[in-house]
Amino acid sequence: MQVSVADSAGFCSGVKRALKIARATIDRGGPVHMLGEIVHNESVLSDIAEAGVRSIMRLGDGRGKSLLICAHGVPARKICDARRRGYRIIDATCPMVKQIHRLALELERVGRRVIVIGDSEHDEVKGIVGQLKKRAIVVSGIRDARGKTLRRLGKAGVVVQSTQALSHVMRIVEELKKRVPDLKFHNTICSPTRSKQREMASMPLRNDVMIIIGSKTSANTRRLYQISKSLNPRTYRVKSKAEIDPRWFRHARTAGVGAGASTPDHITREVVDYLAEVGVRT
């Protein structure tokens, strides 16, 4: 069985940067706290915890402590609150997420109601919404785009969670255009996500089986899986090689491997090595 790996598989630039910042902060010494998860991957999180970063869900007394802000960003009030409590802020928010914050703020400044296309429960979306003075409208699917509130908007501006699927976003934007007469659209899907999705638009068609590696909590991995599955029903999502069932590869001559933006390279390598073995056995 021939195994090929997507060129764009694995850590995106934002995750690499956030991890570099985390390591530099640990090296400087002193307690380091992290609000939520620096990236949505269990293996990365346990490495970071072992290195001494404590993951917290709520802010406490921050005196003498560094607070790491994850790649997805956080609402502005959280940073103010943390500063007030005495934390030293180490901001590892991805520059591409910061750009979304800037665009959303600019839309608000010029009097447009901000619409965010994304998952309302995702940290990145909460972070975008939390930059604004007025309540933003989060649209996660076509049904939301047909909602009553939108009909009353004369003028609005759209930004997109960086890891959304382009085809899904464009369907929503078409719906929004029918309801909002003056709509400004910023396509803020980030470039690493676009590269991954571009590869996923053809790789599943060239391979008998597709394996997408990433945590169940990783939104971008889920999206890659959905795209691949829609093109090739023999697509499977796994966290690591331990979840692979060799029966998936019966009569398969080719297997393609994709990995989410928070999947470490060593996990992808282990999967590829394992598939090479499975290929010999099937």
Catalytically active residues, by annotation: 124
Per CB under 6 A, the list member of 193, 197, 221, 235 interacting with ligand SF4 is 193
Count the Cβ atoms, other than its own, within 10 Å of residue 160: 27
Cβ at position 215, least distance to ligand SF4 in Å: 14
Cβ at position 60, least distance to ligand SF4 in Å: 27
Indicate the residue among 12 and 32 with the shorter CB distance to ligand SF4.
Answer: 12
94 is a site residue for ligand SF4 (CB under 6 A): yes
Cβ at position 92, least distance to ligand SF4 in Å: 9
User: What's the CA gap between 52 and 168, in Å, rounded?
Assistant: 39
Cβ at position 187, least distance to ligand SF4 in Å: 13
Per CB under 6 A, the list member of 71, 79, 125, 259 interacting with ligand SF4 is 71
Pairing of strands 235-238, 88-91: unpaired
15 is a site residue for ligand SF4 (CB under 6 A): yes
137 is a site residue for ligand SF4 (CB under 6 A): no
Per CB under 6 A, the list member of 97, 104, 219, 238 interacting with ligand SF4 is 97
Contact of 262 with 15, CB cutoff 8 Å: yes
Q: Closest residue to ligand SF4, Cβ-based?
A: 14
Cβ at position 277, least distance to ligand SF4 in Å: 31
Part in contact with ligand SF4 (CB under 6 A); list of ranges 11-19, 125-133, 151-159, 239-247: 11-19
Contact of 74 with 127, CB cutoff 8 Å: yes
Per CB under 6 A, the list member of 34, 38, 159, 190 interacting with ligand SF4 is 190
Pairing of strands 254-259, 2-5: parallel
Q: Which residues bind ligand SF4 (CB under 6 A)?
A: 12-15, 71, 94, 96-97, 162-163, 190, 192-193, 220, 261
